[in-house]
Amino acid sequence: MGHGVRVFFRRLSKAALVLAMLMSPIYAEDAATSLFKVITVKDEIVIGLSAAELDQLGGRDAGAVAKSLAGNGTLSVWQYAVRKAPNGDLEQAPLRKIGLIAHDSLRVEPYSTPLKVLPHE
């Protein structure tokens, strides 16, 4: 491997490290609220649950949300939507508190977003 190639990969590694360090606060902030997409035959919505709410449901994944909904028949959650922050950036923010009703054709999936996710009450 030539000297120029080694220098290129060394710089690439440093750039990747810097990028990872810059992105870490974003992921740490987003970890407080997990987003899920709830899909029915008619529509789909995005909901957000805090770590404490997920722990109460018995897990931190879509399966725990679906299992809780199926077991209880209903679930009260925050619906999330994209909005523009005062500085002009787009962000995922709580829109309103809603009630979900269990249904055989309902599906819950994890939802990822590159946007900042705001916590709910």
pLDDT in tens, 6-18: 544 444 344 333 3
Per the structure, the count of domains in the chain is: 2
pLDDT at 31: 55
- Residue 89 sits in which domain range? 32-117
pTM above 0.85, yes or no: no
| Residues 23 and 74 grouped into a single domain | no
| Residues 9 and 65 grouped into a single domain | no
In order of 2, 10, 14, 66, 88, the CA distances from 60 in angstroms are 48, 38, 33, 11, 31
What would the pLDDT profile of 43-102 be if each residue is shown by its tens digit? 999 999 999 999 999 999 999 999 999 999 999 999 999 999 999 999 999 999 999 999
Residues 76 and 120: their CA atoms lie apart, in Å, by: 13
| Residues 14 and 47 grouped into a single domain | no
